[in-house]
Amino acid sequence: MSQLVVVGFPTVEEAETVRRELVDIQREQLIAIEDAVVVENDAAGKVHLHQAINLTTAGALGGGFWGSLVGLLFLNPLLGAAVGAGLGAASGSMSDLGINDGFMREVGDTLKPGSAALCLLVKDATPDRLIERLRVHAPHATLLRTNLSHTDEDRLRRQLEQASKQAEALRLS
């Protein structure tokens, strides 16, 4: 079962940096991410979702391929590609894979203007090694929500607090 973890950051730039680092860490098999979205509450108080994968674009590309293939069969590949891309884009924009957009907008509404949150849907992770790698961001990170058990959530909260203290001690020395 996938685990949902939402971590708040003071800026959208830091949330984006952590997301990029998690993608790199994923290559080392320390985490398996199903979805990673940065939720921004801009200075005007408007919520923006920065998706890792643009489903409309992905749908258009896939639809364009299948439309071209069908178009080749009926001797009109350009028309087939155009229709396929349009249908693929439409279906991609209506898809909601991963974390529910409504939930993320609710999270965004709770953020202070100018801040952000990183919403992660994690299939598998090694939390202690992960936090060790992301320790530099710990002083600014706040665990906002999870679907973990109370015991696991408390353990994660303690690990974040410990990493924050270690990062702060390194910064002061």
* CATH number of domain containing 167: 3.30.70
Q: Are residues 25 and 84 in the same domain?
A: no
Question: Count of alpha carbons within 13 Å of 5, Cβ hemisphere only?
Answer: 26
Q: Are residues 87 and 124 in the same domain?
A: no
In the chain, how many H helices and how many E strands?
A: 6, 5
User: Considering 64, 94, 124, which residue would you say is the last residue of a domain?
Assistant: 94
Residue-number span of the structural domain to which 13 is assigned: 3-54+96-172
Would the pLDDT of 94 be above 60?
no
| Lowest pLDDT segment from 92-106, 127-141, 149-163 | 92-106
**CB 99 within 8 Å of CB 119:** yes
Instruction: Sort strands 31-41 and 47-50 into parallel, antiparallel or unpaired.
Output: antiparallel
Q: Are residues 126 and 80 in the same domain?
A: no
- pLDDT average, residue stretch 62-88: 53
Specify burial of residue 96 (Cβ count, 10 A radius: 0-12, 13-18, 19+).
exposed
Q: Are residues 125 and 90 in the same domain?
A: no
**CB 129 within 8 Å of CB 20:** no
Would the pLDDT of 102 be above 80?
yes
| Lowest pLDDT segment from 62-66, 126-130, 131-135 | 62-66
State the pLDDT confidence band at 145, using cuts at 50, 70 and 90.
Answer: confident
Per-residue pLDDT, 52:
74
Per-residue pLDDT, 57:
42
Q: How far is CA 107 from the centre of its chain?
A: 13
Calpha distance 117→81 (Å, rounded): 38
Higher-confidence position of 126 and 59: 126
What percent of the chain lies above the pLDDT cut of 70?
Answer: 74
Q: Are residues 39 and 81 in the same domain?
A: no
Per-residue pLDDT, 8:
94
Structural domains counted in the chain: 2
